[in-house]
Structure 1
Amino acid sequence: MKLNELAPEFQAAQPILADLEAAGFEAYFVGGAVRDALLQRPIHDVDIATSAYPAEVKQIFKRTIDTGIQHGTVTVMAHDVAYEVTTFRTESTYQDFRRPDKVTFVRSLKEDLKRRDFTINALAMRHDGEIIDLFDGLKDLHQGMLRAVGDPYARFHEDALRMMRAVRFQAQLAFQLEAQTKTAIAKNHRLLQKIAIERIHSEFIKLMLASNWQTGLATFIETKMSEAVPGFSGQATQLQKLTALAGHLTNECQVWGLFALTLTLNQKDTRQLLRAWKSANQVIDGTERLRQLATDLQTTDIDEAELKWALFSAGQIAVQDTLSVLKLMARITSEQQAEFRQIYDQLPLQSSKALAVNGQDLMTNGIQPGPELGRTLQRLRYAVVVGQLPNNKAALLSTIKK
């Protein structure tokens, strides 16, 4: 097979392949960029594999960076664009289920491709668009099948994170998971406990933000990978309910908010879960705002003032995220979503900084620095938000004096 028209990303990198070939070496585009080009998906990083050893690559190109030279990777700079050029290699045993104990450079493309994770990622492309397919990756690509290269048990023992990549690709590409590959994941799901949670976290969020996240999550649960990650053990029944939802998530706070509401977590448990997943502090704060606002909005006896204050306290981003998640979970209707949004949009105050007075104004009018200053500002914000006072400096200072 041959691509008659190469994407601009490949065209820009063609001179690198040409220089390697002119020096007597083999060179190919490899990995996800080739797969995505065949699927007519957006192309991101363009990776190059070559029979040239790292020292030989460095001799050919003037501007290089030793990105991962011990593993055969040299970054070549061309017109201020960085391209990773990696030597064909084989790998030894993997004692930590993530990194090989030893990497051996080879001159064989086949030896290099057979160590890759899935057949659709084991495709190579020449500079002219000709596809090199040694493991029936084109067939699997055409059939929408995700299959491990060679023995799936061996692939997952080499790198257990590949199990997470499998469900992530399933969610992103809407592919089926080949039976033996799926069975191997189910039998080796505990290997995930050998992997740093930061790496699992990255794959999991990509899965949940993909267009077919429900499919990927279903496999994640079915293969029991959910039993091997923080906070999800014993929750399969609750988690399974999410796979029936229709709709998409757009950011990480929505992802964790969805799980916090589904598992009915309180503030302490929510923070504990996200810390166990090594989430950023900003994500933890945003998720807690979402969880709290969702709880407030679903309180049946909440009055108008409490509703306005809850929306103000959450802030614009959390309001948007909360309404999106509650709509996805069918806990509010489209009409209710629009109504809550309108109430927020019509608040006389949507930011603490928008209050017409500040701490300096209060100190000028007799309020001493300290806790009372903060409490006074908060009382004024509340009075403005719920409509008891106008957001007018004179009116607010008059209230303080009284």
Structure 2
Amino acid sequence: MMQWKWVEAHTAERGMSLLRRLADHGYEGYFVGGCVRDELMGRPINDMDIATNATPEQVLELFEHTVPTGIAHGTVTVILEGEHFELTTYRTEGQYVDHRRPEQVEFVSDLYEDLRRRDFTMNAIARGLDGEYVDPFHGRDDLQKGIIRCVGVPGERFDEDALRMVRGLRFASVFDFELEADTWAALVERRELIRYIATERIRVEMEKMIAGPHPVKGIHLLQKSELVGSMKVHVPCPVARPELLERLERVAGEPWVLRWTLIMLALGFNDEAARQALKQWTFSNAAVDRVVRLLRLHQQLLTVAITDTTDTNNDQQINDDEQTNRNNGQQTNNDMQTDSNSARLTLISGVIHYGQDTAALWRQLYPALPEQDRTHVLRQLYEQAPAWIDQMYAYSLADLCVNGQDVLSALDTRGGPWLGKLMQQLLLAVASGQLSNERHTVLQYARTHAETGGETDA
């Protein structure tokens, strides 16, 4: 009886019931691909794909709840008790178009022919209902040796589908494997074929690589193979700050925004350059915004840290006579208090503009920064941020006791761009505790500000 250790028991049982139903009606059925590989590696399994000699039409007749997902290529999704299983007919593939897709597929009855068309030996292992493995290309041996090896002739596999080159590097990175010599040589020789692959497809592989346990290895392989230079979207190489790339593993792979922000910093990108790059890489607008907000908060906090460093350097230039004339103790305490207050106000402003979640992400990013980047003030921001954020008296305009219309009525004037700026100033003053969140006090502050020129844009 087949036993599965790395998939939920109910998922395994439902998958096996599909194989039993196929067998009861005279068809073959095998688990194939990632689920078999991951079971052998001791990695959690998320889905179970099945290969069968039943045609798509026969599969549709055999099972009640189905979706013709990719019926032209032999794939039917069977839904059993809410779970989805992809059943694909054994097939061979004809000529490939643009080094990515086969022009046509031919359904066959031989499992070996189906496994022979697959990318890497570790993905060309099947497992039957009896629990036995079908492994004609010695994928289990390669798994034990930690080797990524193409099925058959490597150059042919990459000529068929150039995305396999990036997939090979992704597997090597995530599993901490090495590419077999002929597979590596063929990849390097054919690296320019990657220009045929849509950026979106590459981005998906890159996301998995960067989120994995060994992202630095993956990046080094991309650089060494020169695949990066052949992709449709230009990536600066070498990067501006390679030491930041080396620290990727110091932050969590999930949430993914942390590592991608670190990559943007390593590339030397500011917020707008990062926005353009990530859009070119087909990230969603929501994903891009998360990275941009984190970059902007980091840059905002750095301005205080840079000022701190500049002040420290200037202090070192003060000669002995001037230092003697200073009231050392009181002046130092005043300077520290000023720095602390400036840092606190900058953090509060950042939380108002970019959100508490972004501030929390920045604190996860901070430990990955090199020592030379961690100034006294930046370290203080990291240490004090939770308390300072918790002590805020307001977090958004909705928390204020007045709104824009209240301010206009109190000032008896028309709106304009100045109003938005004034409302943000009111929010910062209330959030930081400089101004009590009481209607009379807030409106009086607004009148004073308007009288000193805050309304000039109206």
Do 2:191 and 2:225's aligned partners in 1 also have CA atoms closer than 8 Å? yes
Q: How does 1:70-81 map to 2 (within 5 A)?
A: 70-81=72-83
**Alpha-carbon distance change, 184 to 343 in structure 1, aligned in 2, over 3 angstroms:** farther
SS at match of 1:214: helix
Mapped partners of 2:418, 2:302: distance in 1: 32
SS at match of 1:298: helix
1:316 equivalenced with 2:344 (yes/no): no
Residue 239 of structure 1 deviates from its aligned partner by 4.8
Deviations 1:37-83 (A, max 9, x none): 12221111111100111112122222222111100011122223221
1:327 equivalenced with 2:367 (yes/no): yes
Which residue among 167, 170, 176 is the counterpart of 1:168?
170
Deviations 1:254-301 (A, max 9, x none): 233112211221333222211211121122222122222222222321
Mapped partners of 1:384, 1:269: distance in 2: 34
1:301 equivalenced with 2:347 (yes/no): no
Residue 93 of structure 1 deviates from its aligned partner by 1.5
Which residue among 344, 347, 362 is the counterpart of 2:407?
362
255-264 vs 362-371, which moves further: 362-371
Residue 101 of structure 1 deviates from its aligned partner by 0.8
**1:277 is aligned with what amino acid?**
W
1:392 equivalenced with 2:438 (yes/no): yes
Residue 327 of structure 1 deviates from its aligned partner by 2.0
Mapped partners of 2:50, 2:220: distance in 1: 34
Which residue among 395, 401, 420 is the counterpart of 1:374?
420
Mapped partners of 1:238, 1:301: distance in 2: 22
**Alpha-carbon distance change, 398 to 323 in structure 1, aligned in 2, over 3 angstroms:** same
Q: How does 1:175-194 map to 2 (within 5 A)?
A: 175-194=177-196
Mapped partners of 1:225, 1:340: distance in 2: 41
Q: Which residue is equivalent to 1:19?
A: 21
Deviations 1:222-251 (A, max 9, x none): 111221332414335755761355423323
Gap runs ≥5 in structure 2 = 309-341, 449-458
**1:355 is aligned with what amino acid?**
L
Q: Aligned Cα RMSD in Å?
A: 2.4
Q: Which residue is equivalent to 1:285?
A: 289
Q: Which residue is equivalent to 2:42?
A: 40
Q: Which residue is equivalent to 2:335?
A: none
Do 2:293 and 2:358's aligned partners in 1 also have CA atoms closer than 8 Å? yes
Q: Which residue is equivalent to 2:88?
A: 86
Residue 350 of structure 1 deviates from its aligned partner by 3.0
SS at match of 1:167: helix
Which residue among 252, 255, 262 is the counterpart of 1:251?
255
Mapped partners of 1:133, 1:268: distance in 2: 50
13-22 vs 381-390, which moves further: 381-390
Mapped partners of 1:240, 1:328: distance in 2: 10
Do 2:240 and 2:266's aligned partners in 1 also have CA atoms closer than 8 Å? no
Q: Which residue is equivalent to 1:198?
A: 200
Q: Which residue is equivalent to 2:272?
A: 268
Task: Determine which structure has more spread, i.e. the larger CA radius of gyration.
Answer: 2
Q: Which residue is equivalent to 2:332?
A: none
**Equivalent pairs, count:** 401
Do 1:367 and 1:373's aligned partners in 2 also have CA atoms closer than 8 Å? no
Residue 104 of structure 1 deviates from its aligned partner by 0.6
Which residue among 208, 215, 226 is the counterpart of 1:213?
215
Do 2:239 and 2:267's aligned partners in 1 also have CA atoms closer than 8 Å? no
Do 1:309 and 1:382's aligned partners in 2 also have CA atoms closer than 8 Å? yes
**Alpha-carbon distance change, 296 to 374 in structure 1, aligned in 2, over 3 angstroms:** closer
Residue 26 of structure 1 deviates from its aligned partner by 1.1
Mapped partners of 2:145, 2:409: distance in 1: 73
SS at match of 1:48: strand
SS at match of 1:134: coil
Mapped partners of 2:57, 2:201: distance in 1: 30
Do 1:215 and 1:243's aligned partners in 2 also have CA atoms closer than 8 Å? no
**Alpha-carbon distance change, 396 to 326 in structure 1, aligned in 2, over 3 angstroms:** same
Mapped partners of 2:146, 2:387: distance in 1: 43
SS at match of 2:307: coil
329-338 vs 122-131, which moves further: 329-338
Residue 87 of structure 1 deviates from its aligned partner by 0.2
Residue 375 of structure 1 deviates from its aligned partner by 2.5
Could you tell me the TM-score, scaled by structure 2's length?
Answer: 0.81
Do 2:240 and 2:267's aligned partners in 1 also have CA atoms closer than 8 Å? no
1:242 equivalenced with 2:282 (yes/no): no
Do 1:96 and 1:194's aligned partners in 2 also have CA atoms closer than 8 Å? yes
Q: Specify which structure has the higher proportion of helix.
A: 2
**1:173 is aligned with what amino acid?**
F
Mapped partners of 1:190, 1:391: distance in 2: 62
**1:235 is aligned with what amino acid?**
P
Do 2:4 and 2:12's aligned partners in 1 also have CA atoms closer than 8 Å? no
Do 1:218 and 1:240's aligned partners in 2 also have CA atoms closer than 8 Å? no
Q: Which residue is equivalent to 2:394?
A: 349
54-63 vs 318-327, which moves further: 318-327
Could you tell me the TM-score, scaled by structure 1's length?
Answer: 0.91
**2:195 is aligned with what amino acid?**
Q
Q: Which residue is equivalent to 2:64?
A: 62
Mapped partners of 2:276, 2:146: distance in 1: 38
Mapped partners of 2:148, 2:397: distance in 1: 50
Mapped partners of 1:239, 1:245: distance in 2: 11
Q: Which residue is equivalent to 1:119?
A: 121
Could you tell me the percent identity over the aligned residues? 36
Gap runs ≥5 in structure 1 = none
Q: Which residue is equivalent to 1:136?
A: 138
Deviations 1:97-142 (A, max 9, x none): 1110111100111110111111111111112321111111111111
**Alpha-carbon distance change, 388 to 155 in structure 1, aligned in 2, over 3 angstroms:** same
